[in-house]
Structure 1
Amino acid sequence: MVRSEERDLSARQLGILLTCYTAEAPQTVRGLAEALRIHKPALTRAVDVLVQDKLARRLADPRDRRSVHIEVTPTGKTFCRGLGSPPKPSSPRVPSETHE
């Protein structure tokens, strides 16, 4: 669970949001489900929360009304930028052996 002052997102919701955020164009529900290996009903429920929180929006495809695209809103982009870069793994310090 990712928590901020305003919202709590599950790993699934965050994965969907970040996938859409890093994509060059709005993503289809079908494409997201396949890419993230999530069943479409589960993906739809997760997107419902993102839409409710105004982090994402659904867009109808003008060429195919059966297809729905998911796009990150300006609020969602701000949220994603606020997450920052993931921490870099630190290498463990090995104590040096001293010989006297």
Structure 2
Amino acid sequence: MTTSDGSGELLELLYGVLRGVRRDAAARLELQGTTPGQLRLLRTLERCDGPRRLGELAAALDVAPRSVTSKVDLAEEHGLVRRLPDPTDRRATLLELTPEGRSLLAAISAQRHEGAAERLGRLSGDEQAELLRLLRIVGQDTAPGDPGA
């Protein structure tokens, strides 16, 4: 599905590359014993400025609280997160990453970079530089009607 202006081909190529990257990442996650959903939970927790309630995590992930509970149970079982009592509400529980959880995130990040480097390695150094230069241009956010658009 290409159009005369190339936008269809651009979309197909971008989607294809992203599908390949996601497929590679999912395979690597499986080797680490985790899933994309589990990774999303850990990453969300990593971006927080401290321990979070499960309800806050569910809202941030845009999922039902009970689905977060099952992911948290599994992550806790693997030593990736720990539950803490909430000092402001004795009935509530907070969740934080453990050092093991942080190590797993670092390992996965390194693997993702290796995968991207493998894909870029198909190109010469000049081709890599040109691809990145062009993607920066295409990726710039400009509003319709802006001179840069």
Provide TM-score, normalisation by structure 2.
0.54
The alignment status of 1:42 with 2:64, answered yes or no, reads no
The alignment status of 1:3 with 2:67, answered yes or no, reads no
Question: For residues 40-79 of structure 1, what are the structure 2 equivalents within 5 Å?
Answer: 40-79=65-104
Cα displacement (A) at 1:84: 2.0
Q: Take 1:12 and 1:69, find their aligned partners in 2: how far apart are those partners?
A: 19
Cα deviation, 1:41-72, whole Å, max 9, x if unaligned, reads: 11000000000000001111022022211100
Greater relative CO, 1 or 2 (CA 8 Å, sep 6+): 1
Structure 2 gap segments, 5+ residues each: 1-25, 121-130, 133-149
Q: Take 2:66 and 2:34, find their aligned partners in 1: how far apart are those partners?
A: 18
The alignment status of 1:12 with 2:37, answered yes or no, reads yes
Query: Which residue in the other structure is 2:108 paired with?
Result: 83
Q: Take 2:40 and 2:64, find their aligned partners in 1: how far apart are those partners?
A: 14
Query: Which residue in the other structure is 2:124 paired with?
Result: none
Structure in which a larger fraction of residues adopt helix: 2
Q: Take 1:22 and 1:31, find their aligned partners in 2: how far apart are those partners?
A: 13
What is the percent sequence identity of the aligned residues? Answer: 28
* 2:37 partner letter: R
Q: Take 2:88 and 2:48, find their aligned partners in 1: how far apart are those partners?
A: 20
Q: Take 1:13 and 1:83, find their aligned partners in 2: how far apart are those partners?
A: 12
Asked if structure 1 preserves the Cα contact closer than 8 Å seen for 2:44 and 2:60, the reply is no
Structure in which a larger fraction of residues adopt strand: 1
C-alpha RMSD over aligned residues: 2.1
Provide TM-score, normalisation by structure 1.
0.77
Q: Take 1:49 and 1:60, find their aligned partners in 2: how far apart are those partners?
A: 19
Describe the SS at the equivalent of 1:3.
helix
Larger radius of gyration: 2
Paired residues, number: 90
Describe the SS at the equivalent of 2:63.
coil
* 2:92 partner letter: S
Q: Take 1:35 and 1:21, find their aligned partners in 2: how far apart are those partners?
A: 12
* 1:35 partner letter: A
